[in-house]
Amino acid sequence: MGQLAILPKPDAFALSDAADLAARPGADRPGAGERRLGRQVYVEILRGKPSAEFDEDWRDLLGRADEPNVFMQPRVLRAAAAYRRIVALLAWEPRDQGRRLSGFWAFAIGTPNLSMLPITAVCAPATQHVYLSAPVIDRDHLETILHAMLDAIAGAPDLPKVVALESMSGSGPTHDALMCVLAQRRSRFCRLDTKNRPVLMPASDTGGYLEKALSSSSRKKLRQHRRRLGEKGRLETTVARSGADVRRAFEIFLALELKGWKGRRGTALLSDAREAAFARKMVAALAQAGDVSIHALELDGRPVSMQVVLRAGPAAFTWKTAYDEALSGFSPGMLLFEDYSKAFLADPGIVFADSCAYDDSGYMAAWTERKRVIDLWIDVRRGGSGMFSAIARLQKAYLPLRERAKKAYLASATMLTRLRPGAVPGQTISKRGEDARSLAGGFARAV
């Protein structure tokens, strides 16, 4: 099993957000607003894939977690462990009759994404094609457990002391607790990027949500597209939920994705045998637990757009999408978006849905709520180091230059796409950019 680090509870107190690339002098001194926490936890450092014995502990923790995150699911990590060096931090509370899992945070050891320097870090998310790095922690003990987790990394002689978080929650209790803990420890950190991601948070008036979110002209156009597409055959929406149905639908999804622009750019899952193997294992494992469904808009039984949805307790994650480009003039992706949005709004078990989008520039911006996500580097050592500050400053200066080069690349790629024979003018309602992460992947290959 993993290495145990027995850690007494450090004091924690509420502080406002610390400045980028800074540790607040004297932040460890008690002051106004101090809130002491009187619990003790110990952190288990697990190297390699998490055993299935943790699945029930995870499910129990999910019910108490501040932020459900399907990408921290042990089943996802077992699928990724075949080709990534996985390290998981498990925070346990001693109980009279054993122990209870109160925190889970998984990483891979390697070079941070988009790093200009060949440094080694503890990186989250732990694998490709996952879009949230937030730890899953008992909402009542966020600060205590984050202290213990950072101390566990700092005290492990074989682990890097830099934590690189991509798509970390940039607001909410987990984020605020992390900022508080970093300030108290005087640990240096650098916020590299901030984006707003569309989310769906059903309110009491779920029936009128889409009517308010979409303009009247957009709703009219979508009604026209649905009617015109329905004239070509029987149009219906299906949802695969059982294990066998999900596995079968996912193979159809992979083929549909490969036929489209992602396949041409080499960013479809089937374009890389290792990524396809991971995706198949992950989807099959989540389907076994009832945590994945695949929505499809079908024309005479043939999918013209598909959406893979992952679940973690009350949260849904719209993970991957694909559509038939031959029918792009009918906006099949947006028509399916309407259908699964309505399904989410009607499901009392869904508290919120995370779009997993790169930002809010695409069609999923029709969801009116926003979740802030940040890319964050942390030096886990108390007080930090000057070397970390120098590295972080270099990285922060590099990213805007890279972003400008990427925009130029994407502009030229978009122009070439529009000039392609058979391209349909004005198809932005279907899916603007479809998936900016895949475009960014094509850019990375180009540079």
One pLDDT digit (tens) per residue for the chain, 447 residues = 443 333 333 332 222 223 333 333 333 332 222 233 345 889 999 999 899 999 999 999 999 999 999 999 999 999 999 888 999 999 999 988 889 999 999 999 999 888 888 889 999 999 889 999 999 999 999 999 999 999 999 999 999 999 999 999 999 999 999 999 999 999 999 898 999 999 999 875 666 888 888 888 989 999 999 999 999 999 999 999 999 999 999 999 999 999 999 999 999 999 999 999 999 999 999 999 999 999 999 999 999 999 999 999 999 999 999 999 999 999 999 999 999 999 999 999 999 999 999 888 888 889 999 999 999 999 999 987 778 878 878 887 777 777 777 777 767 766 666 665 544 433 333 333 344 444 444 433 333
In this predicted structure, what is the pLDDT of residue 26?
34
Distances, alpha carbon 374 to alpha carbons 36, 40, 195, 289, in Å: 28, 30, 6, 30
* Full set of structural domains in the chain with CATH: 3-196+372-402 (3.40.630), 200-370+409-446 (3.40.630.30)
In this predicted structure, what is the pLDDT of residue 229?
96
Of 193, 154, 203, 171, the closest CA to residue 367 belongs to 203
Q: Tell me the backbone φ, ψ of residue 13, rounded to 5 degrees.
A: -145, 150
Q: Which residues, listed in sequence order, are joined to residue 42 by a DSSP beta bridge?
A: 6, 92
In our burial notation (b when 16+ CB lie closer than 10 A, e otherwise), range 111-133 reads ebebbeeebebbbbbbbbbbbbb
Q: Is 409 exposed, middle or buried (0-12, 13-18, 19+ CB in 10 A)?
A: middle
Residue 189: alpha-carbon gap to chain centroid:
21
Work out whether strand 136-137 and strand 98-110 pair parallel, antiparallel, or are unpaired.
antiparallel
Both tokens of 307, joined, read 């959406």
Both tokens of 432, joined, read 């603007």
